Amino acid sequence: MLKKLLQSVALGLLTALIILLVVPSLRSKILPEFSQSSPDNIDAVQLSFNAAVRRAAPAVVNIYSRKYTENDRTKLSTQGLGSGVIVSKKGYIITNYHVIANADQIVVALQDGRVAAAQLVGTDRRTDIAILRIQMNDLPVIPLNPNYTPEVGDVVLAIGNPYNLGQTTTFGIISAVGRSSINVGSRQDFIQTDAAINKGNSGGALVNTRGELVGINTASFQQGTDLETYGISFAIPYSLANKIMQKIIADGRVIRGYIGIDGQDINTLTSRLAGSDHLGGIVVLGVDPNSPAALAGFKAHDIILKIDGHKISGRQSVMDTVTNLRPGTTINVEIMRGGKKMTLPVTVAEDPRG
């Protein structure tokens, strides 16, 4: 019985296939999405990021830094160019510090043709961030999404003014996150992308396919090395850039907490030796002799486990926690020393490195 049923099904499928081959007009009716005869299918599969660019691009500005000439202090000459991103209706613009370094005047050009002299609110060389402000009405603001987290593989667009050609958009993906600094001597947390970022793109916007700000374009690998490389560019995550901006607006500069230790993450292998409960902790490698940590009694080889009762998750988390604290704040740090747990109170100081 089953054999006869299968034979009937097979015969029916074969008959249908023969009919489709003999009568081509039936193919477009039965399988319209696969029909090669319909030109509409080309439009159906068209991929475009035009909507994202139209949302983000008006808020990406051209920045020209000008400097007085040596022989005539009444004349200004343009010494550099870059890009910036309007992130507030109040006129705040995020750009790179190196874009406006040593400038006597900063000029901002919007995509709608308006031009304005910008006020320098403050800078932070360690993160290569500068905050500008312009006084204008009806400013375009780039879309912001605090809930977006950059992930490897996300499609991104870099918008800026490369080589002063005018606003240009390049396309790529996020290649890596959490990269350390390449060409500046500071702590960083770069987003790596293969979207082209050239001279003049610095300070511009890296956005996702919804036009939301992902990061501030800051450097290309070629700028920091002598290597001939392609497809390796970097951006400062917006979350970090925004944090720096808020500090600069509040205090005019970035005030960082400091306790004066250097440490190394406990990896999976090390945790097997020290105990699985220590995974995520850090081993203290050195202590600044004049630092709050030294005064609190920290020693090399101590294992830091918790800060104010919260378990840490590596060296970066400790650094982020401490640098975000106001000087004068006292924290309780739980450590393991010689197999015994203890808690050391530490009063945070201001980072002397700025």
Q: Encode pLDDT of 290-312 as tens digits.
A: 899 999 998 888 888 888 888 88
Choosing from 65, 83, 175, 202, the catalytic residue is: 202
104 a catalytic residue: no
Q: What tokens does 317 get?
A: 């988390």
Mean pLDDT of 326-332: 91
Predicted pLDDT of residue 229: 52
| Higher per-residue pLDDT: 269 or 81 | 81
**pLDDT range class, residue 33, cuts 50, 70, 90:** very low
Two domains, one topology: 155-242 and 257-350: no
Cα end-to-end distance, the chain, whole Å: 85
pLDDT at residue 231 tops 50? yes
**DSSP string covering 49-92:** -HHHHHHHGGGEEEEEEEEE-SS-TT-EEEEEEEEEEE--TT-E
**What whole-number distance in Å separates Cα of residue 260 and Cα of residue 293?**
6
pLDDT at residue 16 tops 70? no
**pLDDT range class, residue 6, cuts 50, 70, 90:** low
128 a catalytic residue: yes
Choosing from 128, 189, 265, 302, the catalytic residue is: 128
CATH architecture assigned to 257-350: Roll (2.30)
pLDDT at residue 110 tops 90? yes
301 a catalytic residue: no
CATH topology classification for 155-242: Thrombin, subunit H (2.40.10)
Predicted pLDDT of residue 222: 52
Predicted pLDDT of residue 44: 54
Distance from chain centroid for Cα 11? 60
pLDDT at residue 37 tops 80? no
Predicted pLDDT of residue 186: 46
Choosing from 83, 98, 181, 278, the catalytic residue is: 98
Mean pLDDT of 229-244: 85
Give residue limits of the domains in the chain.
2-44, 56-133, 155-242, 257-350
pLDDT at residue 165 tops 90? no
**pLDDT tens-digit profile of 173-220?**
998 887 765 444 445 678 999 888 888 888 999 999 999 999 999 876
Q: What are phi and psi of 320, to 5 degrees?
A: -65, -45
**What whole-number distance in Å separates Cα of residue 45 and Cα of residue 139?**
35
Predicted pLDDT of residue 281: 81
Predicted pLDDT of residue 200: 82
| Higher per-residue pLDDT: 132 or 102 | 132
Q: Helix H segments across the chain?
A: 2-22, 25-30, 40-44, 50-56, 97-100, 221-224, 238-251, 268-274, 292-296, 315-323
| Range 143-165 burial, b when 16+ CB lie within 10 A, else e | eeeeebebeeebbbbbbbbbeee
Mean pLDDT of 217-233: 63
Would you say domain 56-133 falls under CATH 2.40.10.10?
yes
| Cross-strand pairs, 117 | 107
- Which residue's structure tokens are 């400790």? 318
For the chain, percent of residues with pLDDT exceeding 90? 37
Predicted pLDDT of residue 189: 77
Mean pLDDT check: name the lowest of 10-19, 113-122, 155-164, 292-301: 10-19
pTM over 0.85: no
Mean pLDDT of 83-92: 96
Predicted pLDDT of residue 177: 86
**pLDDT range class, residue 2, cuts 50, 70, 90:** low
**pLDDT range class, residue 69, cuts 50, 70, 90:** confident
| Higher per-residue pLDDT: 334 or 17 | 334
